[in-house]
Structure 1
């Protein structure tokens, strides 16, 4: 057991120690059904709670004639009363009435009342219960699902609304090692879906997992089931899956998706886990299942790969290969969920959210829920969120551009959390001192988990590392919470003070680096890349350790890495060459998933040559790419783009008629095809012609129409793109004085 919720820390774990909860479902009124795993198997219980509403004053309900009990809350803050209702319907009617009488939205931040609109979250906050207490991640029953389909000739991607785009394979696996394949050569589509329903009920998973499950597999299965008069009856009560439109955010990425809920089970899309992982690492080339599995070292040596263009017809041509491919997909999904999903398992043990919601709720929202739960438990008044305002953030700068090396990276360990603790900075309205209490507890537990992980046997180490990683994510969220506009205890003045202390401390590190003869290259909030002085070469860790002596007690500087070379481009955009020869590209200015593959590959080869001291080879690399392009040696995957249709063709046409949007190659191709493209369909296209100056929407052609015997890609257009990319970076290996072949080590020192 990697960690046990302590009864003396209810602010972190919730006050109720009930073990084994794997699902909570709202059943109307004031009732929930709680599913728990116990020694005798799955236990199903009914529980109740009083749906509640925070109020500025009991007088707000003066005209309310329905049943209600109003409690006074201690403290001076805005919401000083708590209204308890006998049912969710009564609460909803009261909220509707308050909306009319006050003119304020129940979702507003400045209204005289505040409610939590999720009944399961309300129940968990009121009861102090959380998911998974007393369970290990391995105790969960997890089922993985993946489907394969046909594609109607002439289309790029499958669409469940097209009759012929049927499901050909459903691949299944679970956390026990069990596997199964439902095949179209043995069952018709209706039979496959009916058998899938039976298997879900029989295997009885706590969690259903898939990669792109919300935006592909589940919508596809649901639509095809409907075509046959069936439903996906996966609920533990025999009910069908439920769906609604929603959004998921991972840093700057905002993804529209169809959320699916299954009664008594959690639904986890590993694509979301991958995107959250990439927020911190920024290492993934893309979010596809295969490339992520390879990046994480989870692919089997004998993994079956099939080119994307051959999948649609493989059920007819070679079903056995398709079956192996599908099983490898669900195995990799299972492993990705194991590696990246344990953090959310541990978070579900703490937060008053379902496991599924810990993935899709933001970190600041989760911190706010912890604080509100404790204020509710202690029956203390809750403030409204403060007015939003801007303030200066972390210190970011570049002092050197070009190629430097060797380079050392040092970081101030947990800079902002350390500042909060060392200087005792907390929200001004946190009367109960929950904020810093939680931060101290999480910090202590993280250090304990790290120590235990180092000493643990291999079979226990993974769980402990996931636990300490969970604590780290939460610890680093506390500063962000102070500037969270929806946070009830947010404090922009405190956030501003933390950021100012951070800038002061990192400048202290920079001054000491220069005093010791080092050359800072880049600083980004809590970390510095620098070229060490000659006497520190080979002793970089000791150098950083001595450097840290300039910081106050409790603020630690740590050695974070040594690199053979670094290409510094602009703030937060750089390339590192590791001691092992790996290339790490950071920043949207150097790595974009929106450019064609040939540009991404060229950039990687160019950066490697630049960092390995082979800058004189870069012109030859460019010429090789141009030669391959002009000789038509590339297949469309190298130069084609794929776009998703978000509007219907009719909506696009009407927008164009009133000049409400620009012309789009993907939409123009879909219109010209005469085929029934729908929102959600993807169009892959390339550019034809012989001039570098073309209007793409007029010169585009479907990638499926490319003929290797008569290639017609616009080599002049793509060559111009490559030349522009080359010219963009050329000054970094050919100085303005024209000294070709001389690779400088430092440019533009500031």
Structure 2
């Protein structure tokens, strides 16, 4: 058998007769391949003390299994036996039976294809061989053998979007890819069809779906992307195909699409063998992007300054119906525009490259949302097995919370020249330095006298651990990626590396132990407090600290050159001190590294609203470097989605004037006056998310819920679909009769509300530091109205 390289696209498992079959679809230099592995044994592990009871229970139930004593132990240091089964179904039945008898079935939740891959350290790339058979569009390999490889390849992508009626009847399907861009449209082919060669005309919805099947056979993409593409587009495609009793064969090799609803039925999952479906919203969130709104229009406008021509959902629906009736080419253009916008977002953000690199680093699926726990498990579990241990079961009881990140009480004020010093990846560097590790904890407790101390009873073995070296390797890889300008790779590494603390501190991870998480966060507190002392010993004032950042006031205005000199000197002093301290007191090497991050020429640390106490995680600072002046906002109204555009614009201009030493009286008065006269109406819109069903809000109903209820009352009267019953975003204003939605606005605006609740709080956050008061500036004008 000749070996070749491939990149994993999808993984699947099933029982066939009395054995298992694993299917792995990969992309190779020679095109797609389907690898079939048969006869892998599902397994879980039982502590030896329960083995006899477990065997009796399974024998009584007539479940076939093989039990084998193993040279492995659990985290309670008990030896374990492996229970092996011929089929996945038998293993699942056995696990449920034993758990009902309170017998722990260790690692029974690990899916068979995941176990197969992780035990071979396969992360994206693999080398394979098998008995090859040429099929239509791919090569099938049976009796496949695989091993890990660094191989990677570009994956082909299509952006898919559907248009439909309000009742969910399909009108058209847009497809945009490098190989082909078209819209499949229901309708008679017009006389001027030659003007629209990218429109494929079909006579009915049935033939629309058949044309979609044919398109996937012809153009064969690896990845399908879209906007809410799973829970909207594919949910409806599956539903309409079922209505027509038509198989939706969008998988490779003509395999059928498989739809599965989650337990709450509000989220669905689509499986297309040989392909992967990636929702743009989920992928952006996984890559830690954030937008004011997640609508395609909003994200597109924020990124490119353009979006769809129709934004209001009812205007959009009316327009789509009109275009389908009267101007199908216009609807096709609109349909394809959505596809193109999604592809542009993926290209601009390198989203697919990010997901590929994440898979190469951790082995998790390309379409996995979040995935921090799965990534950690994939990396850690096979190493744990080779060290002689079986992973613990997810614990749901006796969960003890660990302290959060260090946050210092701030010193409110308006400052000249504030430096920000940041510890580079503080929590990963603490794990590296203090050897914090699940296995290290278990082994460290057996050798406490020679182990590295942690917190809350945690101690860590000096040699037996995996996590510190995993982080060190990732750290080096990120440095190389940054040097090469590989932004997607660097971002993937950063997110994975920084997630390790979150995983260890999460009750949703099987390796959670409060001694692990506490030894990270409490060590972080100690490091931040000590670093503050080191800085203040040099004669500077620390005005705030947050998790890994320290804010240092220099006491007067410094030039950038002077500030840089101070910042670099502090960094060198602090890093050297920690190296010496950790060597002398713990006999460990320091991976702690503080960096000089920013010089704010002007810096505001506000008070908590209505109090004299300094706020936390809220500040603003002016950076003036290389001819660029910009104000950085953290936690303030400008960067919050629940404040109006009026408040955000007011804050940005007011802060700029204060930081530049300009007079503010006239600006404040004019803004108040314009608001009261109705000149700022377009900026008075609140936008807020309904996070629950509308009916779930019973007591203390907030304004946005009242607005949503009024909107749906209007929708009901007009015969429209109710829009807000199951959540979503609502835009509303405050009127003299309370909150009212934009689409059902009946009352005059309550302008005084916006002065009191939007302008005044922002002004009160900064004006007192320059000896001024909002009421004094605004009140003379109020007498005019």
Scaled by the length of structure 1, the TM-score of the pair is 0.77
Which runs of no fewer than 5 residues in structure 1 stay unpaired?
A: 1-15, 105-110, 151-158, 248-254, 707-711, 744-750
- Whether the 8 Å CA contact 1:25–1:264 is kept in 2: the answer is no
Residue 295 (structure 2) aligns with = 288
Residue 262 of structure 2 aligns to a residue whose secondary structure is: strand
Q: How does 1:392-471 map to 2 (within 5 A)?
A: 392-427=403-438, 428-429=441-442, 436-451=465-480, 453-454=482-483, 456=484, 461-462=485-486, 465-471=487-493
* SS at 1:726 equivalent: helix
Match of 1:477 in 2: 499
Report the counterpart of residue 244 of structure 1 in structure 2.
261
Task: Report the secondary structure of 2:113's partner residue.
Answer: helix
CA separation in 2, counterparts of 1:190 and 1:704?
Answer: 36
Q: 1:502 aligns with which of 482, 507, 524?
A: 524
Residue 545 of structure 1 corresponds to 568
Report the Cα distance in structure 2 between the residues aligned to 1:741 and 1:27, rounded to whole angstroms. Answer: 69
Please state how far the C-alpha of 1:546 moved relative to its aligned partner.
Answer: 1.8
How far is 1:38 from its partner?
2.4
- For residues 736 and 201 of structure 1, the distance between their equivalents in structure 2, rounded to whole angstroms, comes to 67
Verify the 8 A CA contact 1:419 1:501 in the aligned structure 2: yes
2:121 matched to 1:125? Answer: no
**Structure 1 position 527 matched with structure 2 position 552:** no
Match among 740, 754, 757 for residue 721 of structure 1: 754
CA 1:239–1:135 in structure 2 vs 1: closer, same or farther (change >3 Å)? farther
Q: Could you give the per-residue CA deviations for residues 137-182 of structure 1, whole angstroms, max 9, x where no partner exists?
A: 65212221123445xxxxxxxx4xx2xx6544433223x3642223
Other structure's SS at 2:469 match? helix
Other-structure match for 2:65: 68
State the match for 1:5 in structure 2: none
In the TM superposition, residue 98 of structure 1 has moved relative to its aligned partner by 0.9
**Alignment of structure 1 residues 111-510 onto 2, 5 Å:** 111=104, 113-116=106-109, 118-133=111-126, 139-149=154-164, 159=166, 162=167, 166-174=169-177, 176=178, 178-184=180-186, 186-187=201-202, 188-230=204-246, 232-236=248-252, 237-245=254-262, 257-278=267-288, 284-293=291-300, 295=302, 299=304, 305-309=308-312, 310-312=315-317, 313=319, 315=323, 323-338=332-347, 339-357=350-368, 359-361=369-371, 363-376=372-385, 380-384=389-393, 387-427=398-438, 428-429=441-442, 436-451=465-480, 453-454=482-483, 456=484, 461-462=485-486, 465-510=487-532
**1:244 CA displacement:** 1.5
Report the CA distance between 1:719 and its aligned residue: 3.8
- Cα displacement (A) at 1:542: 3.6
Could you tell me how far apart the structure 1 residues matched to 2:248 and 2:238 are? 6
The 3 A distance-change label for structure 1 pair 542 and 407 is: same
Instruction: Select which of 677, 685, 708 maps to 1:666.
Output: 708
Distance between the aligned counterparts of 2:268 and 2:106, measured in 1? 30
Task: Compute the displacement of 1:50 (Å).
Answer: 0.9
Alpha carbons 2:574, 2:594 under 8 Å: kept: no
SS at 1:396's partner residue? coil
**Partner SS for 1:259:** strand
Instruction: Please say if 1:30 is aligned against 2:43.
Output: no
What SS does the corresponding residue of 2:665 show, helix, strand or coil?
helix
Aligned residues: 663
Q: Which structure exhibits the higher relative contact order, with contacts defined as CA atoms closer than 8 Å and separated by 6 or more residues? A: 1
Q: From the superposition, tell whether residues 617 and 585 of structure 1 become closer, same or farther in structure 2 (CA, over 3 Å).
A: farther
Contact 2:362 2:379 in 1 (8 A): yes
Is 403-412 or 264-273 further displaced after alignment?
403-412
Indicate yes or no: 2:722 matched with 1:677.
Answer: yes
Structure 2 unpaired stretches of 5+: 127-148, 188-200, 445-460, 580-589, 607-614, 777-785
- Contact 2:24-2:36 within 8 A present in 1 as well: yes
RMSD, aligned α-carbons: 3.9
For residue 198 of structure 1, report the CA deviation from its aligned partner: 2.2
Shift of 1:308: 0.9
8 Å Cα contact 1:430/1:489 also seen in 2: no
- Which residue number corresponds to residue 622 of structure 1? 671
Evaluate the alpha carbon distance shift between residue 603 and residue 277 of structure 1 in structure 2; reply closer, same or farther with a 3 A threshold: farther
Is the CA contact 2:545–2:551 (under 8 Å) kept in the aligned structure 1? yes
Instruction: Flag the 1:474–1:643 CA change in 2: closer, same or farther, 3 A.
Output: closer
Structure 1 pair 305/45, CA: closer, same or farther in 2 (3 Å)?
closer
In structure 2, relative to structure 1, the CA distance for the partners of 1:624 and 1:498 (3 Å cut) is same
Q: Does 1:639 align with 2:685?
A: yes
8 A contact 2:767–2:774 mirrored in 1:
yes
Q: TM-score, normalised by structure 2?
A: 0.74
Distance 1:704 1:217 in 2: 26
Task: Answer whether contact 1:605 1:621 (CA < 8 A) is retained.
Answer: no
- Contact 2:641/2:687 (CA < 8 Å) preserved in 1? no
Shift of 1:536: 6.8
Q: Separation in 2 of the partners of 1:517 and 1:320? A: 71
SS at match of 1:429: helix
Matches within 5 A, 1:23-62: 23-28=10-15, 29-48=19-38, 49-57=40-48, 58-62=51-55
Distance, in Å, in 2 between the alignment partners of 1:734 and 1:450 is 44
> For residue 572 of structure 1, what is the aligned residue in structure 2?
617
Tell me, yes or no, if the aligned pair for 2:300 and 2:307 is still in contact at 8 Å: no
2:30, 2:220 → 1: CA distance? 15
Q: 1:344 to 1:256 in 2, by over 3 A?
A: farther
Tell me the distance in 1 between the aligned counterparts of 2:330 and 2:563.
51
Change in Cα spacing, 1:83 to 1:335, as seen in structure 2 (3 Å) is: farther
The question of whether the paired residues in 1 share the 8 Å contact of 2:5 and 2:151 is answered with no
For residues 400 and 295 of structure 1, the distance between their equivalents in structure 2, rounded to whole angstroms, comes to 35
Q: Is the 8 A contact 1:132 1:345 kept in 2?
A: no
Alpha-carbon separation, structure 2, partners of 1:346 and 1:449: 11
Say if 1:421 and 1:436, in contact at 8 Å, map to a contact too. Answer: no
1:21 is aligned to 2:8? yes
| Cα shift readout 1:219-256 (whole Å, capped 9, x = no counterpart) | 34344445555454322243134131279xxxxxxx96
User: Mean alpha-carbon deviation: is it higher for 204-213 or for 478-487?
Assistant: 478-487
Name the CA shift for 1:664/1:488 in 2 (closer, same or farther; >3 Å).
same
**Matches of 2:728 and 2:153, distance apart in 1:** 38
Change (3 A) 1:511 1:453: closer
Q: Secondary structure at the match of 2:389?
A: coil
Which residue of structure 1 aligns with residue 783 of structure 2?
none
